[in-house]
């Protein structure tokens, strides 16, 4: 278990860019406004590195490093968990899935939300009460400590390798697009930054970096929603009516449906975008996804680790 999973950086950038230079970039292409991107990038790194430096001075024991000395308050930890949840997958992935598959993409965001309830009701308190530094502590509590730690380590490394590969590729591509450096360089830069936050600042820095990230992303999301919704006078049916009537959406649905689309009118194709089944053709796929989202997300190691940082479960 390692807080290296805190792959916050690219998504932080994704969060603040629309605020600062999103509209400009859409109009002009990115090259002209690269200095804006660069300064935002630099400012965010400087801020978080400063936080890490402050935190590193406080880290004196193993407990400080792994669990912030158990001194994080409920509110702080709540924001940090929100930061962990607002990852690549939730912030960019869901938006992408909805734009590609309509209703089926929306299913993802619902599943992740309900996983919070699983975490709240059955995971959080026992985790906090039993664990000390890592997830393996929980397994080792009632089982053979050595064997359960070996199993824990193997499974964490296996999961993290695949999980982190996707995150690093995403981060690398994003940094490359935004700043215009080589892909290889940006992947290495993202990795070095992540390691720096965790190795020098431990859980205190990680918590604060996550809090900063969560606040920025929540603000950015609200701004984007407002900007998109204002032209429709905050009317949900009005907004979706425009989605349904869009020729590009209709063409996309026609491509997804293939032969079945030939007898459908343009309006029917658009409406189909708001109905399930564009991505998950077989019924069992929906149920499989639902289970993976609700029970899988509740077991994310970097979420579980957060519960070791609070002083009580009350």
262 is an interface residue for another protein by CB under 8 A: no
Say if residues 58 and 64 touch (Cβ distance below 8 Å).
Answer: yes
Residues whose CB falls within 8 Å of the CB of residue 309, separated by 6 or more in sequence, listed in order: 67, 68, 70, 71, 72, 77, 80, 203, 207
| Among 208, 300, 304, 305, interactor with another protein by CB under 8 A | 208
Nearer to another protein, 182 or 268 (CB): 268
| Among 121, 219, 226, 228, interactor with another protein by CB under 8 A | 121
Nearer to another protein, 166 or 222 (CB): 222
Query: Binders of another protein among 128-187, rule CB under 8 A?
Result: none
Nearer to another protein, 45 or 240 (CB): 240
193 is an interface residue for another protein by CB under 8 A: no
Q: Closest approach of Cβ 55 to another protein, in Å?
A: 5
Binding site for another protein (CB under 8 A): 51, 54-55, 58, 68-73, 76, 103-104, 106-107, 110-111, 113-114, 116-118, 120-122, 204-205, 207-208, 236-238, 240-241, 244, 271, 274-277, 280, 283-287, 289-290, 294, 310-312, 314
């Amino acid at each position: 278990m390692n807080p290296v999973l805190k792959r916050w950086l690219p998504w932080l950038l994704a969060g603040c860019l629309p605020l600062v230079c999103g509209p400009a970039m859409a109009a002009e292409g990115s090259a002209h406004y690269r200095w804006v991107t660069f300064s935002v990038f630099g400012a965010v790194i400087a801020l978080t590195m400063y936080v890490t430096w402050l935190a590193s001075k406080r880290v004196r024991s193993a407990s400080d490093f792994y669990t912030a000395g158990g001194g994080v308050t409920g509110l702080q930890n709540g924001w940090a968990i929100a930061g962990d949840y607002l990852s690549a997958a939730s912030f960019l992935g869901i938006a992408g899935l909805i734009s590609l598959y309509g209703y089926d993409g929306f299913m993802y965001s619902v599943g992740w939300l309900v996983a919070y309830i699983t975490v709240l009701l059955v995971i959080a308190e026992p985790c906090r009460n039993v664990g000390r530094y890592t997830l393996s502590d929980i397994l080792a509590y009632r089982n053979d400590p050595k064997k359960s730690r070996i199993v824990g380590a193997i499974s964490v490394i296996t999961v993290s390798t695949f999980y982190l590969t996707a995150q690093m590729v995403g981060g690398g591509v994003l940094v490359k697009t935004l700043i215009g450096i080589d892909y290889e360089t940006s992947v290495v830069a993202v990795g070095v930054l992540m390691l720096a936050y965790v190795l020098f600042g431990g859980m205190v820095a990680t918590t604060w970096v996550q809090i900063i990230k969560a606040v920025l992303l929540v603000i950015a999301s609200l701004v984007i929603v407002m900007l998109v919704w204002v032209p429709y006078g905050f009317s949900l049916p009005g907004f979706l009516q425009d989605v349904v009537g869009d020729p590009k959406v209709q063409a996309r649905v026609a491509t997804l449906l293939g032969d079945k689309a030939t007898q459908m009118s343009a309006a029917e194709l658009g409406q189909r975008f708001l109905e399930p089944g564009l991505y998950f053709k077989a019924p069992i796929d929906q149920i499989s996804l639902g289970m993976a989202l609700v029970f899988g997300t509740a077991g994310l190691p970097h979420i579980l680790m957060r519960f070791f940082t609070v002083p009580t479960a009350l």
